[in-house]
Amino acid sequence: MKIFKEEVKIKKATPEDFEKVINVITNAFNEEGNQEEQYLKSKNKFEYLFKNNWGLEEDHIGYKLEKADGEIVGFWSCIFSVRQINGKEHKVCNFSTWAVKKNYRNYSLLLTKAVNDLKDYSLTILSSDETSLEVFTKLYKFKPLEENLIIIPPLPPIRSSGISGYIFFSGKDSPPPILKDDHKQLFSDHRKFNASFLLVNEGKDYCFFILKKRKMKHLPFAYMFYMSNPEIFWRHIAEIRYRVNKQLKTFALIGEERKFRFGRPFFSFKKALPRPFLYKSKDLGPEDLDGLYSEYFLIKNL
């Protein structure tokens, strides 16, 4: 493979770069097959990365490597969000889709310098490969965010928890009126991305869940991206595990280990991630961060 050596600059990427960047993604990630067909597939799969999905004021959607003639040869997606965490507003950026054309791979590390422009953000990487794992842990001091998943198969509950407040709803539905404003915002921001929602209502308080059906090893799982009240989850896990898997027609419920503050549920299994999720933050810890507002919602079929 021929390696090109010429002037390449890193610049902010905008939605207007969509067509050119899709060419980069197609070149970087697709080894075989009809190029036009692969291009159309990439265009459909990654389109949400190029939209302002949550009405933020950011003027870009990541960074690009651009030659003097205007050709884009590299791209790094940044998914920005503003979160209410522990009663305060925090800016978060999920890094995704690090793609460089094959003949320009020697310039790949240039894109990572964008980390230095985002010092006011808490940063996450939820799909690292061996290269990015080494680069971001050694050069930029990222730390492990998560290393294990907890797999919870369905079991019929031996007895009812005594409450009837299990409410499933989708993005096409109106949210239950008892949802607090911050949870209504989470629902509104994720409703168009094929998420499923569950409310377990105890009367005085509730637990709000955001889940997504994902295929892993060709089997359907219910991936739990958010739960608002781990204590309520723990009290009702017997019915939740049964109801969620029955409702979504999934093989098991999956959550990230750090979210299980009261221990692992009975008859559950720990599975190590191939590579850890990573984060870097001045004021947030692993327990504060999650997979909402991330590539798992914006990239189709991820």
What is the tens place of the pLDDT at every residue in 196-245? 999 999 988 999 999 999 999 899 999 999 999 999 999 999 999 999 99
CA gap 38, 162 in Å, rounded: 52
Q: How many CA atoms lie within 13 A of 93 on its CB side?
A: 21
**What would the two tokens of residue 213 be?**
């059906």
3-state secondary structure of 193: coil
Amino acid 237: pLDDT: 94
3-state secondary structure of 251: coil
CA gap 3, 125 in Å, rounded: 28
**Cβ neighbours of residue 146 closer than 8 Å, sequence gap 6 or more:** 256, 257, 258, 273, 276, 277, 286
3-state secondary structure of 267: coil
CA gap 300, 168 in Å, rounded: 23
CA gap 157, 140 in Å, rounded: 47
Contact 79, 189 (CB under 8 A): no
Mean pLDDT of the chain: 93
Chain segment 149-182, per-residue pLDDT in tens: 999 999 987 766 566 689 999 999 999 999 999 9
Share of the chain above pLDDT 70, in %: 95
**What would the two tokens of residue 220 be?**
């359907």
- Say what the pTM is: 0.93
Chain segment 272-287, per-residue pLDDT in tens: 999 999 999 999 999 9
Chain segment 141-153, per-residue pLDDT in tens: 999 999 999 999 9
pLDDT band at 117 (very low <50, low <70, confident <90, very high): confident
Q: Which domains does the chain have, with CATH numbers?
A: 8-146 (3.40.630.30), 154-267 (3.40.630)
